[in-house]
Amino acid sequence: MTPILDRIRAHGGEVIRDEWRIRLRRGRLPAPAIAWLRQPHIQTALLLEVWPEADALEERAAIREYCGGQDRAAAERAAYGEVTAC
């Protein structure tokens, strides 16, 4: 199967990583393709294609949130700092 990122680029689209989040410039992607990309499991797969360290961030953020009592936003910011410092 062709990676999701390749499919997006083939239609003139672009994926931009902003820290641990991604944004899409749709290019010529048709509406059904955009709807497909909005599915949570597709977004997760795309994020991992763009930034393979996303799994490590998710794990560290979850530990900070559930064991450390941080709110999700603070946990993600701190986890991002840890993952990018490695």
Q: Whole-angstrom Cα distance, residue 3 to residue 48?
A: 11
Beta bridge partners of residue 11, listed in sequence order: none
- Give the chain's radius of gyration (CA, Å): 15
User: Of 78, 11, 13, nearest to 50 (Cα)?
Assistant: 13
**pLDDT score, position 86:** 67
Task: Provide the whole-model pTM.
Answer: 0.80
Average pLDDT for runs of 10 along the chain of length 86: 88 93 93 94 94 95 96 96 90
**pLDDT score, position 80:** 96
Tokens representing residue 27 in the block: 């290019």
Tokens representing residue 42 in the block: 């597709």
- Helix/strand/coil for 17: strand
